[in-house]
Amino acid sequence: MENKSFKQICTLSIILLFTVISCKEENHRLEYALDFAGDNRTELIKVLEHYSKDSLKSKAAHFLIENMPYYFSYTGHILDSIKAIKASVDENGKLPDDKVNPLKGFRYDNLPKTYDAHVITADYLIENIDLAFEEWEKRPWNKYFTFDDFCELILPYRIDNEPLERWRSDYHKKFAFLLDSIYTGSDIIKASNVIGQYLRNEKFIFNRNLNLPHLGAQFLLKYRVGKCVDSCDYLIYILRSLGIPAAVDELPLSPDNLTGHTWNVVLDTTQRYIPFWFTEEDAVRHDKYEDGRKKGKVLRKCFGMQPETFEGILQDPKVPSFFKNFFKKDVSAEYFESSHEVPSEDSSEKYMYIGVFSPEGWLPIDMTKVVDKKATFRNIEPDIAYQPLYYNGLEYRPAGYPFVLKGDSSITFIPDRDNYESITVTRKCPLYLRVVKHMVKVVGAKIYSSESESFKQKQLLYHIVDTPKVSVNKVYLHTPVKCRYIRYTAPDERFLEIADLDFYYKKQLVDPVDISENNYEGQLPPEKLQECLDHNPLTWIVSKQKGSWITIDFGKDVYIDCLTYTPRNDDNFIRIGDVYEIGYNDGYEGWKYISRQKAQTDTLVFDSIPKNTLLHLRDLTRGKEEKVFYIQNGKQTFP
C-alpha cells in the first residue's frame, strides 16, 4: 500500500505552521484560529457558545477549532472529472491507458486550496461533535480510553486534504448493524474484526493510477476504490463513526522500494495500538504489522498538532522540511526497540540525521540532537544500512561511516585497507520474497517436444523440479532433438506463469512462428502469449486456468540442442552483456567506484575489494533497482 512519495511528504504548508506554532499558549491558538477564519469567525463562535455549558464538548470544540487552520481541501472541476475516471476501474482495478496516460503529468497540489476555517459551518461541527460523543459514550470499550484519545481517534471531522463533507451519519447508518446486532460484545478487537470480515466480502478495489488528493468519505462509501491510503481512510471513517478509536500509521520511506506505505491501527483496551490491514486479515493482539517490506521508522497521522521533537527546529533553516510536519508523530518505539550511538566529529553541527540508501543519494528518515559530541538514534529498525548525515540547509554530507544494527550489536563499515578480498556477486538488490513467490511457480512444469501438433508422440525435454536460482536458466540436451512443436505444461495444481522461453541449435536462436494456449473459456489472447517469446524478463504470461499449457510452433521441423526458461522475476540478477560497476562506501569521503566489467556469465567476480566495506553494484546498461550489500562468509548480504 504506497503512501505519498518522499518528495510529496517533504512538501508541507510550512508558512502556516510558522504562524500557528509561534502562538504556543492554547488561548492564543484559539484566538489565532478565530482570526484566521476571517468572515467565517461567527460560525466558529456559534459552536463555542453552543457548548458553553458543557465542559467536555466545549473542550472537544476547542480541540477541533485550534487545529483547524492547518486543514484544507483542494478544489477544481478537474478533480471531479479525474475521480470519475478513478471510479470506472474494472473488477481487477484496471483503467484503460487512453484514460490514464493523458493525466500522468497532472499535479493536484497546484490547485487552489479552500481552508476549513473559511467555509465550515456551525451546524456541521455541532453535528460531528454530537455524533462522535454519542458513539463514544455508547460503546463499552471506550471507558478504558482518555478524553485525549477520544479527541485524536474518534472526534476528528476529517482525515487530511479530502473534500469537506458530511460523512459520520451516512457511515453509521450503513455499518452500525455490525455492532448493534451482529456483534454486541465488549471486545474492541473482535468488534473490529467483524467489521473487517464484512468489508472483505464487500471488497475494496486497489488502483494506483491518477495523482489525486485523499478521495473523501462519500466517494469511498460509493465506490470503494483507491490506493492503500484510501483504503485506510475508508476504514477510519467506518471505525470512528462506530466509536472505535483508530488511526493511520505510515512508513514514510521504505528502504526496500523508496516509497511510502500506510496501514490502520486500532487502540486496544490494553492501551496498545493493534495493526489492522482489513483487506487481508484480522487484527491480532500482540502482533506487529509485517508485510515483508522494511520500514526504518514509523509515523502516525494525528489531527492535533504535536510538540516539536526538539525545541526551535521549526525556525531553524538547517532542519529539513521533512522533520517539520507536526501533525505526524514518531511511533517507531511501538515497532522497534533499539539504540545506536554515532560520534560527531564536527562540533559546529547541532543535529545529525540518518539516511537510507538510494542510487541518487542517501535519503533521511530520522534526526537527533548532538549531545557531548555524540548522536544517539533510538527505535530504528535492525538489518537496514544507515548513513549518518549532516545538513547545511541545502544539501547533506556524510557524518561518519554507515552502519547496520544486528540484534543487540551493530556493524560499522570502516574499510580495512590492510586486507583485501575477491568477491562474487549475483544480484544488485535483494531477492525479495514477493519475487521468489513468482519464481517458484515454474516448479513442476514440463517441457515436451513433438513432430505433430496433437502430441500423441512426444518427448520430455525437461522437468523443472526446483525453484530457479537465476533469471535465465539454460538446459543443454544430451543429443539434438528434431521437432516442430514445443509444449510447456503447468502442473495440475498451478496456473501457468512464465516470462520467457527460448530455443537454440548450435548456439543460434531458433525462432517460433506461432504460439497458442489450450482451449478454455477466457484463455489468453494471442498477442499476450507473445510476451513469453519476446526475450524480456519483465513481461510474462499467467494462464487463467490451472494445469494449462502453451504450444509453440516453429512452422517446420527444426533441431534444438539447448533451451532456456525464465521465470517471472524482477530482472535484478546479473544480466549477460550488461556493464556493471562496483563501489564501496568510504564514510566521510562518500562512494568510491573502483572497478567496471561487462557480464559474461550470470555472476561477476571483483578483485582487490577492501574488507569490512558497504558495497554498491550498479548496472550502467539498464535498470534502477539497486541496493547496498556487504560480504559475509563469502556471500552477498543485503541489509
Residue 275 is assigned to a structural domain of this protein: yes
CA distances from 43 to 117, 122, 168 (A): 9, 5, 20
User: Which CATH number covers residue 626?
Assistant: 2.60.40
Residue 51 is assigned to a structural domain of this protein: yes
Residue 221 is assigned to a structural domain of this protein: yes
Query: 220 and 75, same structural domain?
Result: yes
Instruction: Give tens-digit pLDDT for 271-292.
Output: 999 999 999 999 999 888 888 8
Among the listed residues 343, 330, 333, the one whose alpha carbon sits nearest the alpha carbon of residue 376: 343
Cell numbers placing 364: 533521511
Domain total of the chain: 4
Asked if residue 577 lies in contact with residue 513, where contact means CB atoms within 8 angstroms, the answer is: no
Q: How far apart are CA 447 and CA 456, in angstroms?
A: 15
Query: 548 and 615, same structural domain?
Result: no
- Among residues 531, 566, 601, the one where a domain terminates is 566
pLDDT at 26: 58
Question: Mean pLDDT lowest for which of 19-23, 266-270, 362-366, 564-568?
Answer: 19-23
pLDDT beyond 90 at 21? no
First CA to last CA across the chain, in angstroms?
Answer: 22
* H-type alpha helices, 37-121: 41-50, 55-67, 77-86, 97-100, 116-119
pLDDT at 25: 52
Query: 542 and 500, same structural domain?
Result: yes
CB within 8 Å of 587: residues ≥ 6 apart: 398, 400, 401, 402, 414, 415
Residue 1 is assigned to a structural domain of this protein: no
Instruction: Give tens-digit pLDDT for 94-108.
Output: 999 999 999 999 999
Query: 247 and 108, same structural domain?
Result: yes
CA distances from 208 to 82, 104, 161, 282, 300 (A): 13, 12, 18, 24, 22
pLDDT beyond 50 at 117? yes
Strand, coil or helix: 505 = strand
CA-based angle 442:444:447, to the nearest 5?
A: 80
DSSP 347: T
Burial class (CB in 10 A: 0-12, 13-18, 19+), 454: exposed
Q: What percent of the chain has pLDDT over 70?
A: 96
Phi-psi region of 72 (alpha: psi -120 to 50; beta: other; left: phi over 0): beta
- Among residues 359, 380, 412, the one where a domain terminates is 412
Question: Mean pLDDT lowest for which of 164-173, 283-292, 534-543?
Answer: 283-292
Query: 283 and 157, same structural domain?
Result: yes
DSSP 564: E
pLDDT beyond 50 at 14? no
pLDDT confidence band for 136 (50 / 70 / 90): very high
Residue 313 is assigned to a structural domain of this protein: no
Q: What is the mean pLDDT of residues 435-462?
A: 97
Asked if residue 598 lies in contact with residue 606, where contact means CB atoms within 8 angstroms, the answer is: no
pLDDT at 10: 45
Query: 632 and 591, same structural domain?
Result: yes
Q: Which residue has the cell 539434438?
A: 480
pLDDT at 290: 83
Q: How far apart are CA 482 and CA 561, in angstroms?
A: 9
pLDDT at 613: 97
Instruction: Give tens-digit pLDDT for 82-94.
Output: 999 999 999 989 9
Q: Which residues pair with 251 in a beta bridge?
A: 261
- Among residues 540, 566, 592, the one where a domain terminates is 566
Structural domain harbouring 608: 418-431+573-637
Instruction: Give tens-digit pLDDT for 497-512.
Output: 999 999 999 999 999 9
Query: 165 and 35, same structural domain?
Result: yes
Asked if residue 127 lies in contact with residue 178, where contact means CB atoms within 8 angstroms, the answer is: no
Query: 377 and 344, same structural domain?
Result: yes
What is the DSSP track for 189-204? HHHHHHHHHHHHHH--
How many Cα atoms sit within 13 Å of 569 on the Cβ side?
Answer: 26
Query: 354 and 325, same structural domain?
Result: yes
DSSP 11: -
DSSP 308: P
Query: 177 and 35, same structural domain?
Result: yes
pLDDT beyond 60 at 2? no
Among the listed residues 251, 201, 172, 158, the one whose alpha carbon sits nearest the alpha carbon of residue 193: 201
Strand, coil or helix: 119 = helix
CA-based angle 60:63:69, to the nearest 5?
A: 140
Query: 487 and 394, same structural domain?
Result: no
pLDDT at 239: 98
pLDDT confidence band for 407 (50 / 70 / 90): confident
Strand, coil or helix: 478 = strand
Q: What is the mean pLDDT of residues 577-595?
A: 97
Question: Mean pLDDT lowest for which of 296-300, 521-525, 536-540?
Answer: 521-525
Instruction: Give tens-digit pLDDT for 186-205.
Output: 999 999 999 999 999 999 99
Among the listed residues 453, 446, 440, 463, the one whose alpha carbon sits nearest the alpha carbon of residue 568: 440
Among the listed residues 283, 101, 124, 135, the one whose alpha carbon sits nearest the alpha carbon of residue 217: 124
Cell numbers placing 533: 517469446
Cell numbers placing 411: 556493524
Among the listed residues 259, 209, 244, the one whose alpha carbon sits nearest the alpha carbon of residue 86: 209
SS3 track for 362-415: CEEEEEEEEECCEEEEECCCCCCEEEEEEECCCCEEECCCCEEEECCEEEECCC
Residue 315 is assigned to a structural domain of this protein: no
Query: 379 and 353, same structural domain?
Result: yes
pLDDT confidence band for 4 (50 / 70 / 90): very low
pLDDT beyond 80 at 380? yes
CA-based angle 86:90:93, to the nearest 5?
A: 70
For residue 371, count other CB atoms closer than 10 A to its CB: 10
pLDDT at 330: 97
| Amino acid occupying residue 352 | M
Cell numbers placing 313: 527546529
